[in-house]
Structure 1
């Protein structure tokens, strides 16, 4: 793989998607080929799976089914979007990846971690991010922000205890992968966060030798 794979993670309401879009604009302006995708979703197949996963109507969905649907969307995303883009040297930016499944299904739903990791190893064919920005925001602050969004989806509407476990899960991943994951204080201004993310990205691109 000649390109660079960057993911953004964090609690719902942490502002990660806003920062991803700003990073796309900045990298495009510097001449990089940037490919943007998301999870669940990113492809026609994945977007259909996303509708099922996030719909509040599917309250009966079991943790095992939820885990498999996320992995199915991820497998399509890797095969159709991520792997081909990396192979031609593009910078791939993905809104969530395997870390999200570990945090949300593993820690949040307390599903078997070994099964989650094994399934996702197969779904991704072993592809892992080069850099992951973890946007850090407490569940309490995230909930305050989410109130302004209106109706919450099936995952967002889970109780505070669930979101606290997810938060702790992301921090456990940060401790496990300190070289890959970069902690970003998501309670700063949008401009300050963008500057921090862009500087770190450009440094990693330079060190990796990804060319314009």
Structure 2
């Protein structure tokens, strides 16, 4: 919805997601979400995310940036930090070293954090019949991840836009579009 509204305003937008924004990423996503891999080691998970990210950058994100398109990706480095450091307990220096190898140090100009109580988010996924390896995690893990996202936002308040995701979808979309348009005006 955000991408559609921006395109209506004449902005060249590439909307994508991680992992899965390219064919290799889609295959890695299948592994990461597979419920039968509940015992996946945190380091394995970290390396898979970064392998998908490196390919995604090469195939989708960098070519779009080269033509000056606005890239909107559902998840990137901040998600990895929140999940792998806060949720899984991996060392942040290790996570960032691997991320730097995968991304060459590329960072988003802006991160929109859709903030929602984990119990509400999990309820929405259950209602949507979305059940994967992450939905099977304990509520404690999801709360740690949320804490991680909020901590990252505190560290870089100029880059993060926190949006209350419990609001109506139209309100959330309007808020995000306005924030992106403002950021584009400041470029």
1:44 aligned to 19, 23, 28, which one?
Answer: 23
Report SS of the residue matched to 1:57.
helix
Residue 169 in 1 paired to residue 174 in 2? no
Structure 1 vs Structure 2 CA RMSD: 1.0
Residue 144 in 1 paired to residue 92 in 2? no
Structure 1 alignment gaps of length 5 or more: 1-21
Aligned twin of 1:8? none
Question: Whole-Å Cα distance in 1 between the matches of residues 71 and 105 of structure 2?
Answer: 16
Question: Whole-Å Cα distance in 1 between the matches of residues 181 and 130 of structure 2?
Answer: 37
Question: Whole-Å Cα distance in 2 between the matches of residues 144 and 155 of structure 1?
Answer: 13
Q: TM-score, normalised by structure 1?
A: 0.86
Displaced runs of 4+ in structure 1, greater than 4 A? none
Q: How many residues align?
A: 187
Question: Whole-Å Cα distance in 2 between the matches of residues 143 and 27 of structure 1?
Answer: 29
Structure 2 alignment gaps of length 5 or more: none
Q: How far is the alpha carbon of 1:151 from its aligned partner?
A: 4.7
2:164 aligned to 179, 185, 200, which one?
Answer: 185
Distance 1:40 1:204, change over 3 A: same
Q: TM-score, normalised by structure 2?
A: 0.97
Question: Whole-Å Cα distance in 2 between the matches of residues 27 and 52 of structure 1?
Answer: 33
1:97 aligned to 76, 80, 86, which one?
Answer: 76
Of structures 1 and 2, the one scoring higher in RCO (CA 8 A, sep 6+) is 1
Aligned residue runs from structure 1 range 1-212, under 5 A? 22-208=1-187
Q: How far is the alpha carbon of 1:42 from its aligned partner?
A: 0.4
